[in-house]
């Protein structure tokens, strides 16, 4: 039977506010446990929440960016459950009147097709603390630094049909929140995480199958793998005559599989009700217009600009425009080198490769955009070849320095002096009788291919520093002269 997956995603984006959503405690990452948890976060008796205006503004920005209805009136509700890292016994969230209503994003797949994915809603809520189960025998340690950190939960429609579409959607949302500057998007630190609702049904069937929810996946690659694995697991189950149980699952990156979490008892009985400690949030058109007029450039607009201004291909523009930091880096390199295509190739090629290999975010790249731009200038003016540039880049990455300093210190300057190249070419030809004979014996139209051997020898003799164009020309001239 042919199966179809139905996927809906819930993304939690941590808002980049200085203080918490309902208290004046800091949200900075990595502090000593419980040093950023105040009386409000600990739910001590007599404390009351006061809503953070920046959290509201951030949510409205997101709503405008996905062309959504903004809730002129939104209300906080209490979602009740007991867990030690939730001191109040409820999470303050928004169920009935979320700040952001129905919106949408367009995703582009690798083959260039686009698809619109609906966003059901996005609402504000507070994060819980952290439980540490393994450090103390028989006890659980609780760190409440994260308790009360503002989150925007973004809920998609079940419009997604494959793991690849899911990743494209998550990347798009990631690009939007980072471009807006409302979330740092750091998945490793948990600032941006994703719950995946997955079900399958026979292709053509209207009705949805039973879904599972895989929680807190924190990398794009893991999202794709977790969903693929979960689809496969469900198909196997159904084809073996079993049935899918509605449950929460955890993705184990080491084993690359999802497994059932101990089911939260009465998991769906949260008994939501409006939070009596918080009043309705009312915003008017003026408030929204001020934010709308101040929105930064969004990924779609940036992509169009990259294609227009820099002449980038659709694919290159999409890759480079997505993340704000990457886009800024690219633009700096493009301006410094005055060659957008070369800049695009290096940023998407060598630089991205090194960042991936070293698991480094672009903002922490050891090679700055100015450094890279400076090196591209030296490729363009023929000081170094593209091949030597890779060596320069390696040195830059590991040891720092400008391209000029490295080229000078390592003696990598390209030999463009025709006289010097001619001398080396003569030596190479003199030592390669056999290949010269073959060259002479070959049909003239096949000789071009045979230059490769001689090129290689000249490059070897010059340590790769000879200008390839010049070498080619001289070789051809000298060899063809021998054939006459």
Interface residues toward another protein, by CB under 8 A: 17-19, 23-26, 32-39, 42, 44, 50-56, 75, 80, 82-84, 97, 131-133, 135-136, 138-144, 262, 265-266, 269, 271, 274, 276, 278-282
The contacts of residue 310 (CB under 8 Å, 6+ apart) are 317, 334, 340, 341, 344
Q: Which residue bears the tokens 């999470």?
A: 91
Helix (H) or strand (E) holding 199: strand 192-202
Nearest partner of 74 among 283, 284, 290, judged by Cα: 283
Nearest partner of 43 among 147, 133, 139, judged by Cα: 147
Can you give the C-alpha Rg of the chain in angstroms? 29
CB-nearer residue toward another protein: 23 or 156: 23
How far apart are CB 11 and another protein at their closest, in Å? 22
Q: Which residue bears the tokens 């699952």?
A: 249
Please give the Cα distance from 56 to 74 (Å, whole number).
10
Helix axes 314-322, 163-180, angle to 10 degrees: 60
List the beta strands (DSSP E) in 226-340. Answer: 248-252, 257-260, 273-274, 281-282
User: Quick check: 484 and 478 in contact, CB under 8 A?
Assistant: no
Please give the Cα distance from 341 to 362 (Å, whole number).
19
CB-nearer residue toward another protein: 134 or 206: 134
CA angle 333, 337, 339 (to 5 degrees): 95
How far apart are CB 108 and another protein at their closest, in Å? 34
Please give the Cα distance from 470 to 478 (Å, whole number).
12
Please tell me whether residue 38 adopts helix, strand or coil conformation.
coil
């Amino acid at each position: 039977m042919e199966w179809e997956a139905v996927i809906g995603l819930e993304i939690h984006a941590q808002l980049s506010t200085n203080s918490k959503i309902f208290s004046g405690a800091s949200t900075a990452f990595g502090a000593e446990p419980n040093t950023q948890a105040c009386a409000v976060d600990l739910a001590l008796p007599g404390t009351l929440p006061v809503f953070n205006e920046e959290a509201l503004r951030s949510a409205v920005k997101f709503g405008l960016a996905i062309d959504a209805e903004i809730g002129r009136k939104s209300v906080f509700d209490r979602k009740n459950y007991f867990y030690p890292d939730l001191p109040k016994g409820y999470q303050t969230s928004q169920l009935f009147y979320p700040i952001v209503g129905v919106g949408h994003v367009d995703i582009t797949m690798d083959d260039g097709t686009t698809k619109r994915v609906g966003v059901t809603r996005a609402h504000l809520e507070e994060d819980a603390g952290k439980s540490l189960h393994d450090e103390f025998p028989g006890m659980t340690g609780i760190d409440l630094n994260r308790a009360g950190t503002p989150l925007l939960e973004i809920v998609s429609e079940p419009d997604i049909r494959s793991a690849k579409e899911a990743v494209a959607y998550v990347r798009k949302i990631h690009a939007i929140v980072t471009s807006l500057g409302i979330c740092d998007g750091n998945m490793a630190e948990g600032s941006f995480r994703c719950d995946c609702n997955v079900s399958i049904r026979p292709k053509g069937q209207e009705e949805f199958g039973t879904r599972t929810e895989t929680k807190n996946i924190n990398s794009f690659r893991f999202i794709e793998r977790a969903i693929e694995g979960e689809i496969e697991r469900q198909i196997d189950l159904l084809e073996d005559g079993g049935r899918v149980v509605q449950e929460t699952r955890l993705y184990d990156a080491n084993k690359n599989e999802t497994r059932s979490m101990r089911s939260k008892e009465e998991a769906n009985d949260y008994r939501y009700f409006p939070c009596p400690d918080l009043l309705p949030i009312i915003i008017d058109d003026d408030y929204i217009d001020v934010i709308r007029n101040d929105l930064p450039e969004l990924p779609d607009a940036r992509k169009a600009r990259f294609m227009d201004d820099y002449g980038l291909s659709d694919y290159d523009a999409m890759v480079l425009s997505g993340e704000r930091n990457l886009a800024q880096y690219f633009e700096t390199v493009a301006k410094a080198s005055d060659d957008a295509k070369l800049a695009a190739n290096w940023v998407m090629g060598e630089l991205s490769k090194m960042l991936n290999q070293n698991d480094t975010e672009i903002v922490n790249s050891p090679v700055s955009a100015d450094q890279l731009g400076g090196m591209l200038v030296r490729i363009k003016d023929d000081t170094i070849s593209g091949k030597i540039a890779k060596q320069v880049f390696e040195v830059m990455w590991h040891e720092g320095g400008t391209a000029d300093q490295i080229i000078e210190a390592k003696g990598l300057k390209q030999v463009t002096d025709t006289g010097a190249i001619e001398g080396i070419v003569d030596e190479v030809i003199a030592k390669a009788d056999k290949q010269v004979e073959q060259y002479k014996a070959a049909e003239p139209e096949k000789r071009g291919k045979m230059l490769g051997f001689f090129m290689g020898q000249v490059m070897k003799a010059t340590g790769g520093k000879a200008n390839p164009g010049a070498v080619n020309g001289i070789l051809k001239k000298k060899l063809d002269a021998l054939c006459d």
